[in-house]
Chain A
Amino acid sequence: EAQVTQNPRYLITVTGKKLTVTCSQNMNHEYMSWYRQDPGLGLRQIYYSMNVEVTDKGDVPEGYKVSRKEKRNFPLILESPSPNQTSLYFCASSGGQGAGGYTFGSGTRLTVV
């Protein structure tokens, strides 16, 4: 089944403790992206990647890092999480032009206390 897989689905952590949210897609998509979703603010793009080793900032990149060492994986790294990063995070991938938009994962709900 074609899908984007995120892990974990739920995570509670403490301020300052580094964490990684993994994302993997099995569709051989070149393009991947991370979003956060907050009430009243909708979905905001954090980072995106157009290919292996090619990443760029979205609208809200501060406090996040990403890497794209392999085509299928696009982990999101929070080096020093803070409570304002408590949010619902989505990873997505796309086959590019004409592919009909991004395919989203099921989400990771992160709580930073």
Chain B
Amino acid sequence: GESVGLHLPTLSVQEGDNSIINCAYSNSASDYFIWYKQESGKGPQFIIDIRSNMDKRQGQRVTVLLNKTVKHLSLQIAATQPGDSAVYFCAETRGGTSYGKLTFGQGTILTVHP
């Protein structure tokens, strides 16, 4: 079935470096994408979202890029900090909204070394 997936299951970076987490999706009907951060023992926390009519969206230290041609999105974290260590999930839904049936990727573990 169609699903959202990730290229890399783990990513290790040094504090201060920039991090890039990738996500591939297979359903061209997907039109709304969300990145979540999950710390150990906690529920996923919203980071940033993007709609399919956009290519790029920036937040505080984070940027999401969407390439609809190759069905790929990425999360860039600037000046990565130890507190950014977590599992990062991309999620997609159809209908242009942040509710309804969400499909998550399997996650990327980000480890930031001091």
Pairwise interchain contact B99-A48, C-beta atoms closer than 8 A: yes
Query: Is the CB of B83 closer than 8 A to any CB of chain A?
Result: no
* B9 nearest CB across to chain A (Å): 10
Q: For B114, what are the chain A residues with a Cβ–Cβ distance below 8 Å?
A: none
A-contact bits for B21-52, CB 8 A (1 contact / 0 none): 00000000000001010000111111001000
Query: Known: A43-B89, A107-B43. Is A101-B104 also a contact (CB below 8 A)?
Result: no
Pairwise interchain contact B45-A96, C-beta atoms closer than 8 A: no
* A45 nearest CB across to chain B (Å): 6
Q: For B44, what are the chain A residues with a Cβ–Cβ distance below 8 Å?
A: 43, 90, 92, 102, 104
Query: Is the CB of B76 closer than 8 A to any CB of chain A?
Result: no
Q: For B81, what are the chain A residues with a Cβ–Cβ distance below 8 Å?
A: none
Query: Is the CB of A105 closer than 8 A to any CB of chain B?
Result: yes
A-contact bits for B71-114, CB 8 A (1 contact / 0 none): 00000000000000000010100001111111111110000000
Within the assembled complex, what's the spacing in Å between the Cα atoms of A43 and B90?
10
Nearest B residue to A43, CB-CB: B104
Pairwise interchain contact B101-A42, C-beta atoms closer than 8 A: no
Within the assembled complex, what's the spacing in Å between the Cα atoms of A92 and B46?
11
Pairwise interchain contact A48-B98, C-beta atoms closer than 8 A: no
Chain A residues at the B interface, C-beta cutoff of 8 Å = 4, 30-31, 33, 35, 40-45, 48, 50, 56, 58-59, 90, 92, 94, 96-107
